């Protein structure tokens, strides 16, 4: 009796569907007398042994005590087979005649298992040796069904490739041993696999134009709650539903998955889903992992592992979940009250892009926003799917107020162009060939937990800047601003080791003190400084000023250039402005 096995693990005979066996206990087990039991299974609390053609009349033959055959169908009392060598030989000969008799009556097209050329629809179970005895070698093949010949092979239990891949991703997340953030390279893959598992086997409604997704399953859970234990899950579903940055069911489902990972409630979601028949019936029992007993148990085990991990995800950064699992770099731009920010905006596909910065505007002075960045939110007002002019309306209402602008960088965490923005940036350049994507400072690309130490400190109530002293060089008898861009490379070419110093700009003069040893390197009054400026390099963090070598002597030996490096662009700009302001102030003060 060749067996057919459905996806639920139930065995059916090939020729008689009335004989029904449960899941196999073992595929190959030793018999009592040295023989083998091939494909043992339990039927109604009794043990049945199956391995060849069903034998209606074989119960009359002698059965060895080592392999007691048990009837698999009480109505017909059909016996299976003996496992001794003598019994196997008799059984094989009996099968040979039975197959030919069945083929003659048109009941079976399968050929005898004793023939050398086996029909591909009937793999041999027994094989006679040259001396006429049956060899003990049994065919153990894989338990997969070929569509062409409907043949089942016996091996290990089936596995879903999604679960195997998900297990690898979970182990990769676990191997880091740290809090999982949006910068983790395995997070997007893990979330995408979870999404594929929840979508597998999800059936679409027949009379509906709306495409069903797993978000609809989770959304219906609070309405189908019969036990009153869904308070925390209901809050998560409601928070997802009211989020204005999400437009599609795909985006809401992804937001809910991230929220469940952060709150360690994903396993609870799936458990409630499995206990809600009205929603579970949306999944196909033949294809879905959630309705397969063999697959749902390892899946729940992986979810329990995820629930013991710490996730620290930025839930406000969700505007691109409708399109991608990749999370962009999002930073907050704090703007002081001003008449105008000075940004040229372009609306494209519901996004607000920064096309250019107006010279002299607040954004141009701060050097925080770059052309190509996306304005995502202004003072809590989302600009997702905004129409033309909407950002201007919001800014006009907040005129004269401090602004908190959420900016999505066009560069990703790894420094490359953020993938979902590639097509939009290409369209922007087509419309505006003069668009220049600004340089991305290393500080802006660094994650929050990897940013450098603070570059400012307080000393006697004053802000003191922590900068790097790069050195100084003599530049001759002329110290005007025209020579500054040529003087800074002269200092850098010396390749002197940099020192971490404290730059203290007081009311009338500035001092530079080595941070570690508290040794004062130099002190210059503002009138001694002939010019100050920033070096025109991509990072824009190097600044310098020219000062007389010996201003106290009547015969000056010339000017020298002092070069330093600030922590970021904004601090570099602030220091240059403060030195210039100090020079003007001391002119009037003197």
**Residues β-bridged to residue 371:** none
CA–CA gap between residue 1 and residue 40 (Å, rounded): 13
Q: In the prediction, which pLDDT does 105 show?
A: 53
Which of 487, 470, 476, 374 shows the shortest CA–CA distance to 421?
A: 374
More confident residue, 276 or 74: 276
- The predicted model gives 419-438 an average pLDDT of 83
- The predicted model gives 179-208 an average pLDDT of 90
Clarify whether residues 145 and 173 are in a common domain. no
Residue 73: φ, ψ to 5°: -135, 110
Whether the predicted pLDDT of 509 surpasses 80:
yes
CA–CA gap between residue 197 and residue 217 (Å, rounded): 13
**Residue 379 maps to which CATH number?**
2.30.42.10
Clarify whether residues 148 and 172 are in a common domain. no
User: Residue 470 in contact with residue 564, Cβ under 8 Å?
Assistant: yes
Clarify whether residues 153 and 10 are in a common domain. yes
Does residue 451 lie within any of the structural domains?
no
Q: In the prediction, which pLDDT does 455 show?
A: 64
Q: In the prediction, which pLDDT does 66 show?
A: 34
pLDDT range class, residue 225, cuts 50, 70, 90: low
Domain count, the chain: 4
Clarify whether residues 267 and 389 are in a common domain. no
Given 380, 412, 445, which residue is the final one in a domain? 445
Query: Using the 8-state DSSP alphabet, how is residue 119 labeled?
Result: -
CA–CA gap between residue 283 and residue 299 (Å, rounded): 16
Given 157, 173, 203, which residue is the final one in a domain? 157
Does residue 315 lie within any of the structural domains?
no
Clarify whether residues 215 and 117 are in a common domain. no
Clarify whether residues 128 and 184 are in a common domain. no
Q: In the prediction, which pLDDT does 102 show?
A: 56
User: Residue 565 in contact with residue 538, Cβ under 8 Å?
Assistant: no
Which of 563, 545, 559 shows the shortest CA–CA distance to 495?
A: 563
Does residue 100 lie within any of the structural domains?
yes
Does residue 324 lie within any of the structural domains?
no
> Per-residue pLDDT tens for 533-561?
888 766 788 999 998 876 555 555 688 99
Which of 35, 37, 8 shows the shortest CA–CA distance to 23?
A: 8
Q: What are the distances in angstroms from CA 393 to CA 244, 368, 378, 387, 388? A: 18, 22, 11, 11, 10
Clarify whether residues 420 and 460 are in a common domain. no
SS3 per residue for 207-240: CCCCCCCHHHHHHHCHHHCCCCCCHHHHHHHHHH
More confident residue, 126 or 360: 360
Does residue 318 lie within any of the structural domains?
no
**Residue 225 maps to which CATH number?**
1.20.58.900
Q: In the prediction, which pLDDT does 166 show?
A: 92
Does residue 20 lie within any of the structural domains?
yes
- The predicted model gives 115-127 an average pLDDT of 41
Q: What are the distances in angstroms from CA 259 to CA 63, 407, 429? A: 64, 22, 36
Q: Say whether pTM exceeds 0.75.
A: no
> Per-residue pLDDT tens for 465-484?
899 999 988 888 888 877 88
Lowest-pLDDT range of 90-99, 517-526, 575-584: 90-99
| Domain that residue 287 falls in | 161-307
Clarify whether residues 141 and 3 are in a common domain. yes
Whether the predicted pLDDT of 212 surpasses 80:
yes
Whether the predicted pLDDT of 152 surpasses 50:
no
Residues near 401 by beta carbon (within 8 Å), at least 6 away in sequence: 337, 379
Helix count and strand count (H, E) for the chain: 15, 19
Whether the predicted pLDDT of 50 surpasses 50:
no
More confident residue, 350 or 455: 350
CA–CA gap between residue 472 and residue 219 (Å, rounded): 66
Clarify whether residues 29 and 142 are in a common domain. yes
Query: Considering the chain, what percentage of its residues have pLDDT values greater than 70?
Result: 65
Given 157, 174, 199, which residue is the final one in a domain? 157
Query: Counting every residue, how long is the chain?
Result: 590
**Residues β-bridged to residue 522:** 512
User: Residue 50 in contact with residue 74, Cβ under 8 Å?
Assistant: no
How does DSSP assign 387-456, residue by residue?
Answer: PTTHHHHHHHHTTTS-EEEEEE-SB-TTSSBPGGGHHHHHHHHHH-TT--PPP--HHHHS-GGGPPPPSE
Clarify whether residues 48 and 103 are in a common domain. yes
Does residue 66 lie within any of the structural domains?
yes
Query: Using the 8-state DSSP alphabet, how is residue 329 labeled?
Result: P
**Residues β-bridged to residue 128:** 134
Clarify whether residues 394 and 532 are in a common domain. no
* Four-residue CA torsion sign, 244, 248, 250, 252: positive
Clarify whether residues 401 and 267 are in a common domain. no
Does residue 190 lie within any of the structural domains?
yes
Q: Please, what is the average pLDDT of the chain?
A: 73
Which of 393, 415, 445, 583 shows the shortest CA–CA distance to 505?
A: 583
- The predicted model gives 132-147 an average pLDDT of 37
**Residue 499 maps to which CATH number?**
2.30.29.30
Q: What angle do CA 41, 18, 112 make, to 5 degrees?
A: 75
């Amino acid at each position: 009796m060749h067996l057919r096995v459905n996806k639920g693990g139930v065995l059916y005979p090939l020729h008689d569907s009335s004989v029904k066996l449960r899941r196999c206990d073992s595929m190959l087990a030793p018999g009592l007398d040295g023989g083998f039991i091939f494909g043992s299974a339990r039927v109604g609390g009794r043990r049945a042994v199956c391995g060849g053609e069903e034998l209606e009349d074989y119960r009359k033959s002698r059965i060895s005590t080592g392999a007691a055959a048990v009837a698999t169908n009480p109505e017909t009392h059909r016996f299976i087979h003996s496992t001794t060598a003598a019994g196997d030989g008799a059984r094989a000969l009996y099968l040979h005649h039975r197959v030919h008799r069945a083929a003659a009556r048109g009941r079976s097209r399968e050929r005898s298992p004793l023939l050398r050329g086996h029909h591909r629809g009937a793999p041999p179970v027994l094989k006679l040796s040259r001396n006429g005895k049956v060899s003990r070698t049994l065919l153990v093949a894989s338990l997969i069904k070929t569509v062409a010949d409907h043949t089942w092979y016996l091996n290990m239990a089936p596995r879903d490739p999604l679960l195997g891949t998900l297990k690898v991703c979970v182990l990769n997340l676990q191997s880091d041993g740290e809090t999982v953030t949006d910068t983790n390279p395995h997070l997007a893959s893990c979330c995408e696999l979870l999404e594929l598992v929840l979508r597998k086997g999800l059936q679409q409604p027949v009379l509906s134009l709306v495409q069903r997704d797993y978000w609809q399953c989770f959304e219906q859970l609070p309405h189908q709650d019969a036990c009153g234990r869904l308070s925390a899950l209901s809050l998560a579903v409601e928070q997802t539903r009211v989020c204005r940055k999400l437009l599609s069911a795909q985006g809401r489902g992804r937001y809910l998955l991230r929220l469940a990972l952060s709150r360690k409630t994903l396993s609870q979601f799936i458990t409630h889903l499995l206990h809600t028949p009205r929603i579970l019936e949306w999944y196909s029992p033949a294809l879905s992992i959630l309705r397969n007993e063999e697959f749902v148990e390892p899946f729940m085990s992986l979810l329990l592992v995820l629930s013991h991990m710490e996730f620290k995800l930025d839930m406000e950064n969700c505007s691109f979940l409708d399109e991608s699992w990749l999370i962009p770099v999002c930073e907050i731009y704090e703007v002081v009250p001003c008449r105008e920010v000075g940004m040229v905006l372009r609306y494209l596909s519901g996004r607000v892009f920064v096309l250019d910065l107006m010279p002299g505007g607040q954004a141009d002075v701060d050097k925080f926003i770059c052309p190509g960045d996306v304005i995502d939110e202004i003072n809590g007002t989302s600009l997702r799917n905004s129409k033309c002019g909407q950002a201007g309306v919001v800014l006009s209402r907040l005129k004269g107020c401090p602004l908190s602008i959420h900016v999505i960088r066009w560069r990703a965490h790894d420094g490359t162009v953020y993938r979902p923005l590639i097509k939009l940036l290409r369209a922007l350049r087509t419309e505006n060939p003069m668009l220049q994507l600004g340089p991305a400072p290393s500080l802006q690309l660094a994650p929050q937990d990897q940013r450098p130490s603070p570059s400012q400190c307080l000393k006697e109530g004053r802000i003191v800047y922590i900068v790097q002293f790069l050195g100084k060089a003599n530049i001759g008898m002329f110290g005007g601003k025209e020579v500054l861009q040529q003087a800074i490379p002269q200092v850098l070419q010396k390749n002197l080791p940099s020192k971490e110093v404290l730059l203290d700009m007081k009311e009338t003069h500035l001092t530079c003190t080595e941070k570690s040893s508290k040794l004062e390197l130099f002190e210059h009054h503002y009138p001694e400084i002939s010019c100050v400026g920033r070096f025109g390099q991509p990072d824009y963090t190097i600044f310098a000023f020219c000062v007389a070598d010996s201003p106290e002597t009547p015969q000056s030996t010339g000017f020298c250039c002092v070069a330093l490096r600030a922590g970021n662009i904004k601090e570099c700009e602030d220091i240059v402005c403060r030195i210039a302001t100090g020079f003007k102030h001391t002119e009037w003060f003197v």
